[in-house]
Amino acid sequence: MLHVPAQSDYLPPENEIELIPFDKSEFKDILQGRFSPSEHMAFVCIDTAHCNRDMYMLEEAYQAFVSMAEAALRDSIRLTIVSATRNFEYQRMLWEDKWTGKTKVEGRKLPEWFRDAVDRALKIMEYTAPPGFTRHHWGTDIDINSVEPEYFESEEGKRVYEWLKMNAPSFGFCQTYPALDENRPEGFNEEKWHWSYAPIADELWREQVRTFTEKEISGFKGHHAVRKIDILNKYLLSIQRCGGD
């Protein structure tokens, strides 16, 4: 039988929490993206050589990315960040544009496609987390080169992904959402582009799981539907971490 961990199992050792570059009292705000990355001391603007617009990351995670990108370039692989830190407001816009049909999903408007609110939320959650629950709030998680699965089927995309699988862990980055299979039967779809800087993200993740309450699911259209979904077990816990477990 599968061992189902309790929320209280996710208490991080005190010394690991020291790695986190902001005050413990800020944890909840960072986890939920309730801050401005451009105004936060622990965040740095990503050099335009590494991204395609203004973006921010936690400094330690960014330095690790720069080292990784330089190593990749020596192997003729170019890594570009296409999405980094997104705050609550930004994620709310992404979510609500899908929820209301402003952004089409697979060419269709979701309110017409899914009358049932829970079904509509589940469709969005194939790739997009509700505001307050994306790891992109944390400054540790980035999307690399493209967020289209098709790109990773191209010759270039395959080479990039193979390189990342081989090399990213030695820079601290791991793929959070590998293919759904018996090891990861539910949660967000496979994202070959989403990589997480584990030395900090793991601690934030533990804190997120430990302190999660359903009433945090609020402040955006469709939140009542999301409350009916077991987001903790099906989406927050069903990730792959560097080194497993």
Binding residues (CB under 5 A) for Zn ion: these are 143, 194
* Min separation Cβ 64 and Zn ion, Å: 17
How many Cα atoms sit within 13 Å of 120 on the Cβ side?
23
Query: Minimum distance from CB of 143 to Zn ion (Å)?
Result: 4
With the CA atoms of 200, 204, 206 and 210 taken in that order, what torsion angle do they form, in degrees rounded to the nearest 10? 160
- Looking at the Cβ atoms of 187 and 214, the one nearer to Zn ion is 187
Q: How far is the CB of 20 from Zn ion (least distance, A)?
A: 20
Measured from each CB, the residue nearest to Zn ion is 194
Q: List beta partners, residue 143.
A: 83, 194
Minimum distance of Zn ion from residue 15's CB (angstroms): 29
Give the whole-angstrom CA distance, residue 48 versus residue 90: 20
Complex with Zn ion: residue 82 or 229, whichever CB lies closer: 82
Q: Are 84 and 55 in contact (CB under 8 A)?
A: yes
State how far the Cα of 219 lies from the Cα of 19, in Å rounded to an integer: 30
For residues 72 and 81, which CB has a smaller minimum distance to Zn ion in the complex? 81
Looking at the Cβ atoms of 123 and 194, the one nearer to Zn ion is 194
